Amino acid sequence: LAFPKLENLTISHLRNVKRIWYKQLHSKLFSNLKVLKVEHCDALLNIFPPLFLGDFQRLEKLIVTDCASLEEVFQLQVRVLDIVEACIVTSELRHVKLFRLPKLKHVWNKDSKENISFKNLREVHVQECWSLKTLFPFSTAKYLQQLKSLVIDSCGVEEIISKRVEGSNKHEILFEFNQLFFLALWNLPNLVCFYPGMHKITCPMLKRLRTYSPTKIKKFGHVLSQILLIGK
């Protein structure tokens, strides 16, 4: 069984389903799928278990909304007997939209190895995900030169990019968002920093900046000052 011509798939209102995929998929099952939408699946725990994202290499848009139990979107690594196995993926994913996921803890569950690339991302929009503490793993954020729009709205995010797992954190890190023209940080009461270490941000194409803090948080002002200086 395969759907080689299927380009759009919506999975909706599977209230008791904890997993969408239960075994390794045939490589041609969804070989041309470009848009995946998952909504109102209240028991679902993750979207892509380990080693599954490689079966969706043409996927360009992912939309996940109103999944009450979802904890992870991309589960890139699995730990067995203290040995981490990482899937090797070259993703064509361009648009990620995650709305109203109250238990979401990780978009990417681990800091992926450098052979897992999401460098084609153009748009990331995360809204009403109050359990989410950080958005991008370090290794993902380092290669977002094509990102054009980033919106984080009403979330529990404390840092936008998580701390580097491997290597030294003593040296200044450069994050290059060369195509980013729209950035919105809206209603993020727990936001502490952009990245928890020495860093510099370049964002030469930024044209629109939308921010709002519900309270007078000094740390939010520090994050905002970093952003306002990125084009200089």
Q: Is 2 a member of any domain?
A: no
d(CA 213, CA 139): 28
pLDDT of residue 84: 45
Q: What is the pLDDT of residues 11-43, one digit of tens each?
A: 999 999 998 887 665 556 788 899 999 999 999
**Residue 95's beta-bridge partner residues?**
61, 123
Q: Is 48 a member of any domain?
A: yes
202 lies in which domain range? 8-228
Q: Is 168 a member of any domain?
A: yes
Q: Is 20 a member of any domain?
A: yes
Which tokens sit at 62? 């992912």
Q: What is the pLDDT of residues 83-129, one digit of tens each?
A: 444 445 668 999 999 999 999 999 987 665 555 678 999 999 999 99
How many structural domains does the chain have? 1
User: Which CATH number covers residue 80?
Assistant: 3.80.10
Question: What are the DSSP calls for 135-171, one per residue?
Answer: EE-HHHHTT-TT--EEEEEEE--SEEEPPPSSS-SSS
pLDDT of residue 130: 98
pLDDT of residue 79: 47
Main-chain phi, psi angles of 104, to 5 degrees: -65, 120
> Three-class SS of residue 50?
coil
Which tokens sit at 21? 């995929």
Q: Is 3 a member of any domain?
A: no
Q: Is 14 a member of any domain?
A: yes
pLDDT of residue 89: 60
Q: Is the pLDDT of residue 156 over 90?
A: yes
Q: Is the pLDDT of residue 141 over 80?
A: yes
pTM here? 0.86
Q: Is the pLDDT of residue 226 over 70?
A: no
202 or 41: which carries more pLDDT confidence?
Answer: 41
pLDDT of residue 231: 46
pLDDT of residue 25: 57
Q: What is the pLDDT of residues 73-87, one digit of tens each?
A: 988 664 443 444 444
Start-end of H helices in the chain: 138-141, 218-228
Which tokens sit at 68? 């009450």
Q: Is 1 a member of any domain?
A: no
